[in-house]
Amino acid sequence: MNAVIGKQNQNTPRYDRLGNLAMSLPLPQKDDNPDELERALRLSGILQTTLEVDKLIEILAHEILRLIEYQSICYTHQDLGIEQTIGEPANHSCTYRLVVSGETLGELVLTRKKKFTKAETALIETLLCGVVYPLRNALLYQKAIEAAHKDPLTGVNNRASMDEIIDREVNLSSRHGSQLSLLALDIDLFKKINDTHGHATGDCVIKAVAEAIKTAIRSSDMVFRYGGEEFLILLSNTDREGATLLADRMRQKIEETCIICDGTQVSTTVSIGITCMLPENDTRKALFSRADAALYQAKSSGRNCCKFFSADED
């Protein structure tokens, strides 16, 4: 079976327009240069010791540097949102698209201050032949891990990942004295939506609400689907005022969103409970309990509103 490595124009500035010099490279065979085969097999064996993509790229960077001088190496996989750079980019580059059995595994760029020689690029290509299969295994492993922590309907974090992540963020907040807020969001009268329009429309509404939440928060914030129509939003470095402003902006956005499900227009609102980490001796359980109590207050106040709850407020 052949590993295909797409090779781009070398010795050009890294951000120049891509060239059209793609080529197919078979894995080194036993009749080829034995040193090349040994290098590829050795690197493949080393890389098979990890299933972590970032660690794999670190090992690859170290192994290439043992043989070829360079200033930086950058690995990207756009579909998975991976971008890892080691070193400082320089003017001259070699760029490779990594493909195996028709599957794109990402792109690798090496840069340095002087041009790469033909002998050096040939050696790089040989080494990369030992990369593709360990890299494919690492990517498959990462996808499986991510899938286990994602809600299949909405794509946000699921309940299985919630306790671990919130515990971690609570501990970090306590250790560093940083602000942390938690929102509990529930779709109002969701049972009525299901009873009136059916469960498929209900799923459509849940997805639309999840998208509205994701567009309202920052990249550092985290969303969890806690129950059927309930979400938790963890806001890092956010105090009471910031959390309240964001919650109300989110509530308004969802209220104003025109949701179309199979040609049917559905309107919905949400109720949001808000709380913040206490300065001392706070826990995930206590934080969640306050957010849930605040959500209950919002529901009891007529829905489609945001309420804040702290240990000093009833």
Catalytic (active-site) positions: 229
Distance in angstroms (rounded) separating the CA atoms of residues 82 and 199: 35
β partners of residue 288: none
Distances, alpha carbon 242 to alpha carbons 70, 185, 245, 287, in Å = 45, 16, 5, 17
List helix spans (H) across the chain: 34-47, 53-65, 118-129, 132-148, 159-176, 190-197, 199-216, 240-256, 284-300
The residues near 142 (Cβ < 8 Å, ≥ 6 apart) are 51, 52, 53, 80
Residue 76 gets which letter from DSSP? E
Distance in angstroms (rounded) separating the CA atoms of residues 181 and 276: 4
Distance in angstroms (rounded) separating the CA atoms of residues 112 and 2: 29
Q: Token pair of 98, please?
A: 């990594």
SS3 18: coil
Output the CA torsion sign for 221, 225, 229, 234.
negative
Distances, alpha carbon 107 to alpha carbons 56, 57, 74, 76, 110, in Å = 14, 12, 8, 5, 10
Distance in angstroms (rounded) separating the CA atoms of residues 214 and 204: 15
